[in-house]
C-alpha cells in the first residue's frame, strides 16, 4: 500500500487496483506482541489505514478478500478469486507489483494444526491470542523459537502472568547475534523468570503437551516463532526469477527480470551494503522503503533503494537487544579478515541513577579498520545506540572515524565516552596493534 500511495501522489490519473486476500490493509504486525501483552489495549490502534480510507482519500480500488491465483506476464493479466462470491475472473494490467510478504515457518510436525498452536502474523492471529490469554485458562505457554518474535511473545505472556518456556533447537537464542552476546540475552531472560531451553528440538504437539527431544512439556498455549519464508510461489509460477532464500530477485528500482513486474517487501530481496550481496531481509522498515521506491517508479518517477546493513532491534522485559552490519561469525563467512572487540560499560554516566551496564561488540576489517558491524545488549537507553553504527556503516566509515564522531554528552544520556565510541576506540587499538605487529 505504500507503493500504491506513492504512485497515486505522482499520477492522479492512474487506475490503481490493490488485491488483498484478507480483510485488512496497512497494519503494524510488529505491534502484535504488545497488544497480546496488554500494552496496546485496542487492536485497532495497530491499523494505519483501512481499505475504506484508501478508497475514499486516495481513490485506490482496494478489493479485500480477493486472492491472486496466477500472473500471466505475456498477456498482462492476473487471475483473481473473489473469495466472498466464490468466483474467479481475470484482470488486466500495464504494471503489476508483487507485494505478497512472507509467512511464518510451520514445520510438518505431528499436531502442528491443533488449535493450541498459534502463529504470529496477522491481526486475526492477534485476536485469537488475545482471546486465549485473557480467558483466564492459560497458565503455561511454550514459545518455539528464540528469535525476535519468540522473545517479544515471551515477554507478552510474562506480562500476563503466565509461566513461559522458550525452546530453540539451536545452541543459542537470537541466532542473529554471536554466541557470546546471545548468552547475555539468555541470562537476562532467565533472570526475568523465562525458562530458556536451547539445543532442544520439538518433535510434535498434542492437546496440552509439546513433545521435545528431552521429553514432554505441558502447555496450555503454543506459539511458533521460527522465522519466515517469502511468499514467492506466485512469482515463481509466473516465471519470475527468484534469488536468496527463494525471495524475488529485484534490481535497485524494485524491478524484477520480467517486463512490467515489480516486487517489494518481505517477498523480495535486498542488497546488503556490507556483505555486498543480495539477501532476504524481512523487516517492516525495509518493506516500507522498498514500497516507497516502487511507488515512485510506478508513478513515472525515478528512485532506487539504497540497500540495507542488517539493522534490527528488540527487547525482552528490561533488556534491549540490537545489531547491525555483520557479526563476527558473518564476517568470517563473508571472507573478511577481521578483529572483534567487546566492551561493557554503564549506558549513562556511572554516577547517574539508573546507569545500567551495556555490552557492545564491534567488528572491523583488520587491514583497513573499516567498520563491519556491532551488537548491543543492555538495559534502558542501550538499544537505539545501534543507529550510530548503522549510520556509520552506510557512510562506509572506519572505526577510527567513528571514534572521532561528535556524539552528544550529558550525564543522563551517556558517559563522556559513549559506549559505542569506547568500542570503536578499542577496535581501533586492535587494528593499530595488528599493524604494528605486522610492521615488526
Rounded CA-CA distance 423/131 in Å is: 45
Query: Is 35 in contact with 130 (CB distance < 8 Å)?
Result: yes
Rounded CA-CA distance 190/183 in Å is: 11
- Active-site residue flag, 267: no
* Of 110, 69, 73, 65, residue with least CA distance to 94: 73
In this structure, what C-alpha cell is assigned to residue 418?
559513549
Write out the DSSP string of 16-34. -EEEESSS--SB-GGGHHH
In this structure, what C-alpha cell is assigned to residue 373?
558491524
* Of 221, 210, 8, 18, residue with least CA distance to 135: 221
Query: Is 168 in contact with 105 (CB distance < 8 Å)?
Result: no
* Of 117, 362, 316, residue with least CA distance to 220: 117
Strand bridging mode 195-198 / 163-168: parallel
Backbone angles phi, psi at 135, to 5 degrees: -80, -15
Of 30, 40, 68, 179, which residue is the catalytic one?
Answer: 30
Longest dimension (CA), the chain: 79
Burial code of 287-300, b = ≥16 C-beta within 10 A, e = fewer? bebbbbbbbbbbbe
Backbone angles phi, psi at 23, to 5 degrees: -105, 15
Catalytic residue IDs: 30
Amino acid at each position: 500500500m505504500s507503493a500504491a500511495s506513492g504512485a497515486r501522489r505522482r499520477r492522479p490519473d492512474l487506475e490503481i487496483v490493490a488485491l488483498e486476500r484478507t480483510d485488512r490493509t496497512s497494519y503494524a504486525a510488529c505491534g502484535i506482541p504488545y497488544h497480546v501483552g496488554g500494552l496496546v489495549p485496542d487492536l485497532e490502534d495497530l491499523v494505519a489505514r483501512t481499505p475504506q480510507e484508501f478508497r475514499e482519500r486516495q481513490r485506490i480500488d482496494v478489493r479485500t478478500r480477493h486472492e491472486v491465483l496466477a500472473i500471466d506476464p505475456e498477456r498482462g493479466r492476473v487471475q483473481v478469486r473473489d473469495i466472498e462470491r466464490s468466483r474467479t475472473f481475470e484482470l488486466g494490467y500495464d504494471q503489476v507489483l508483487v507485494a505478497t510478504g512472507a509467512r511464518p515457518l510451520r514445520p510438518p510436525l505431528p499436531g502442528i494444526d491443533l488449535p493450541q498452536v498459534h502463529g504470529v502474523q496477522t491481526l486475526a492471529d492477534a485476536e485469537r491470542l488475545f482471546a486465549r490469554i485473557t480467558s483466564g485458562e492459560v497458565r503455561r505457554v511454550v514459545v518455539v523459537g528464540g528469535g525476535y518474535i519468540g522473545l517479544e511473545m515471551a515477554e507478552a505472556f510474562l506480562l500476563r502472568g503466565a509461566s513461559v518456556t522458550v525452546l530453540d533447537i539451536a545452541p543459542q537464542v537470537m541466532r542473529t547475534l554471536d554466541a557470546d552476546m546471545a548468552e547475555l540475552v539468555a541470562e537476562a531472560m532467565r533472570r526475568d523468570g523465562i525458562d530458556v531451553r536451547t539445543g532442544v528440538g520439538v518433535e510434535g504437539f498434542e492437546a496440552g503437551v509439546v513433545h521435545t527431544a528431552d521429553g514432554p512439556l505441558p502447555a496450555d498455549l503454543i506459539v511458533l516463532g521460527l522465522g519466515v519464508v517469502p511468499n514467492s510461489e506466485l512469482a515463481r509460477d509466473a516465471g519470475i526469477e527468484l534469488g536468496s532464500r527463494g525471495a524475488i530477485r529485484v534490481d535497485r528500482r524494485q524491478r524484477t527480470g520480467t517486463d512490467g513486474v515489480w516486487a517489494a517487501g518481505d517477498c523480495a530481496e535486498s542488497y546488503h551494503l556490507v556483505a555486498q550481496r543480495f539477501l532476504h531481509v524481512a523487516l517492516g522498515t525495509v518493506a516500507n522503503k522498498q514500497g516507497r521506491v516502487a511507488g515512485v517508479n510506478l508513478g513515472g518517477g525515478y528512485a532506487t533503494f539504497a540497500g540495507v546493513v542488517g539493522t534490527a532491534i528488540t527487547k525482552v522485559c528490561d533488556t534491549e537487544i540490537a545489531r547491525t552490519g555483520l557479526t563476527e561469525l558473518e564476517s568470517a563467512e563473508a571472507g573478511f579478515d577481521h578483529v572483534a572487540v567487546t566492551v561493557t560499560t554503564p549506558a549513562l554516566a556511572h554516577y547517574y541513577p539508573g546507569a545500567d551496564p551495556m555490552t557492545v561488540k564491534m567488528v572491523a576489517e583488520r587491514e583497513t579498520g573499516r567498520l563491519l558491524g556491532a551488537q548491543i545488549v543492555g538495559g534502558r537507553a542501550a538499544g537505539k545506540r545501534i543507529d550510530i553504527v548503522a549510520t556509520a556503516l552506510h557512510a562506509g566509515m572506519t572505526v577510527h572515524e567513528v571514534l572521532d564522531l561528535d556524539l552528544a554528552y550529558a550525564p543522563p544520556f551517556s558517559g563522556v565516552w559513549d559506549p559505542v565510541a569506547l568500542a570503536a576506540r578499542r577496535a581501533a587499538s586492535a587494528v593499530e596493534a595488528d599493524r604494528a605487529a605486522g610492521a615488526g
